[in-house]
Amino acid sequence: PSSSSSRAAMVKFLKSGKVVICLQGRMAGKKGVIVKTFDDGTDGRRYGHAIVAGIARAPLKVKKGMSEKKVEKRSRVKPFLKLVNFNHLMPTRYSVDSDFKPLGITPEMCTGDGPKRTEARKGIKKMFQERYASGKHKWFFSKLRF
């Protein structure tokens, strides 16, 4: 069988909403969620890649005796937004049911450092913050120990 027919039979498990761990670069070892995948690549990137929204800095532990201000500060989430090659992602068994469509994230927002990227990161931060406060997906917001 030719390579194109075997590729069609391959199951695509890197879908949007899948929790992944970045393996290379500055965000190596950080958890993220796939926002959008480009299985066959694009003109600029001729390899399979994905837009990943993840947690650059996870929230810290909170204790009962802490003041409200300290609790608020320790439960902050710092997000990141990156275009990542599939080879540099390790999928986990977890999926997150978050909807990134209202944010309208595009590949152009992931490159460079413009106002659109800043707005996208703010939207992701708000989404992650709400998700953390609701107590959903505890594993996603905990720091990886390795």
At 21, which helix (H) or strand (E)? strand 18-22
Task: Tell me the pTM.
Answer: 0.84
Residue 2 predicted with pLDDT over 80 = no
Q: What is the mean pLDDT of the chain?
A: 87
For the CA atoms of 118, 122, 125, 130, what is the dihedral angle to 10 degrees?
-170
28 vs 22, 112, 144, CA distance in Å?
5, 20, 11
Number of CB atoms found within 10 A of residue 6's CB = 9
> Which single residue is written with the structure tokens 């989430």?
77
Residue 25 predicted with pLDDT over 90 = yes
Structure tokens at 60: 């810290």
Instruction: Please tell me the predicted confidence (pLDDT) of residue 83.
Output: 92
Residue 81 predicted with pLDDT over 80 = yes
Residue 99 predicted with pLDDT over 80 = no
Rg of the Cα atoms in the chain? 17
Q: Are 35 and 100 in contact (CB under 8 A)?
A: yes
Residue 125 predicted with pLDDT over 60 = yes
User: 1 or 93: which carries more pLDDT confidence?
Assistant: 93
Tens of pLDDT, residue by residue over 6-21, are 455 566 778 889 999 9
